Amino acid sequence: MIKLPEYMGPLAFGVKMGLIVPGMDIVQTIFDQLVYCHRDGLLENGDIICITESVVARAQNNYVTTADVAKEIREKLHLSPGGKLGLVFPIASRNRFALVLRGLALAVPRGEVIVQLSFPYDEVGNQVIDPDFARSLGRDLLTMEDLAGREFPHPVTGIDYIRLYHEIISEAGAVPRIVLCNDPLRILDYRPDAVIAADIHSRARTRAIISALHPRCITLDEICNSGAAYSEWGLLGSNISAGEKIKLAPRDGPKIVGDLQRLVQEKLGVQVEVMIYGDGAYRDPTTGIYELADPQPTIAATAGLNRYREGIKYKYLADYYYLEKGKTVAEIEKLLQEQKQNPLDDGSKEAREGTTPRRMEDVVASLADLVSGSSDAGTPLVVVKGF
């Protein structure tokens, strides 16, 4: 067994795997790869096994079609083909929402779809409209008439999401109406038959506000959350796939991580924690985009990760002992080591000065997402050590 030397801190590495296709046993497939890690001394007690959500969902064949979405929407919201559907605060994304929008629009092929976008940015920081132009108008609601003759390409992707969403609705046969406003209640001005609160992290609040005045309002996690293919997250965390297919987030996540944890313990004698992760909770400092388009960084995790990661503030204590108390380097190192072993109770406030407790799940999932990188890296499995 390879042991990390004392001078090393946390370590994370990606594990390359072959192609994972629908019908595979994802638990056994991941375990088989961990056998190699164990053989080579790369797996030990306390390690965290991180599996990207995309390969889990693919192995589960967890796909729905746009027609499936349209049928469910009509039934759940009692919409006729000529009905009027309102969507509030969807994100601006080809991968995450464009195909979902097509499915929703297909529910009312002879009706109308009103999309209310937040502006100038969506929920995760994608620019919908030039902020300087929006500010110059000085209005809290902008219509297509206000934006006529202008294009608003995304500064990174180059996609004009207002135009794209308009085209998607039109191609489905419905009449598109796109407005920009940050007040969720303004959607009711257009008298929709039903409303979908399409935001991710603020969906419960948005739905509560609208539901107080409209009897038919649901969120994306209430769509495709049961049936032959489903996810407990519904359409949240879904991705575009081939043709008219939408890949949902994995289902039965707690069972998968629990089964893998038990298999590693029984067959290899190693106690690990396991998680299925999605987008890391990372805000790009250059683009300002908050990468978390999934409902949360961790789709499922074993119980040992359900806690906060916190510790003493080394920088503060080093300065305190050296500058204020005149301690030597050796004395400070001894004091820091002793302090590290003490429980962090209410009396440790000064030792923790400036630290921010963070959920282990969120930190590790974000680390795994950065390590695994894009899907073409071929490392959907990440092992985290020393956490």
E strand or H helix at 14, and its extent? Answer: strand 11-15
> For residue 138, what are the contacts with CB-CB under 8 A and spacing of at least 6?
none
pLDDT at 354: 47
| Contact assessment for residue 261 and residue 302, using Cβ atoms and an 8 Å cutoff | yes
pLDDT of residue 351: 47
In angstroms, what CA-CA distances link 200 with 32, 124, 293?
35, 9, 7
Exposure string for 205-222, b = 16+ CB within 10 A, e = fewer: ebbebbeeebebbbbbbb
Q: How far is CA 69 from CA 84, 93, 97, 226, in A?
A: 16, 18, 13, 12
Contacts of residue 286, defined as CB under 8 A and 6 or more positions apart, other chains included, come to none
Rg (CA), the chain: 24
Return d(Cα 280, Cα 296) in angstroms, integer: 8
Instruction: List the pLDDT tens digit at each of the 387 positions of the chain.
Output: 566 777 888 899 999 988 899 999 999 999 999 999 999 999 999 999 999 999 999 999 999 999 999 999 999 999 999 999 999 999 999 999 999 999 999 999 999 999 999 999 999 999 999 999 999 999 999 999 998 889 999 998 999 999 999 999 999 999 999 999 999 999 999 999 999 999 999 999 999 999 999 999 999 999 999 998 999 999 999 999 989 999 999 999 999 999 999 999 999 999 999 999 999 888 888 888 888 999 999 999 999 998 776 555 666 667 777 676 777 877 777 776 766 666 555 444 444 444 566 788 999 999 999 998 765 567 999 999 988
Which DSSP category does 249 fall into? P
Q: Are strands 48-52 and 239-240 parallel, antiparallel or unpaired?
A: unpaired
Token output for 363? 């930190």
**At 313, is the secondary structure helix, strand, or coil?**
coil
The pLDDT of residue 301 is 96
The single-letter code of the amino acid at 106 is L
Residue 184: both structure tokens together: 């969720």
List all residues 6 or more positions away from 321 whose beta carbon is below 8 Å from its beta carbon: 327, 331, 332, 335
What's this model's pTM, rounded to 2 decimal places?
0.86
Tokens of residue 380, six digits:
């959907």
According to the model, what pLDDT value does residue 352 have?
47
Q: What is the pLDDT of residue 334?
A: 73
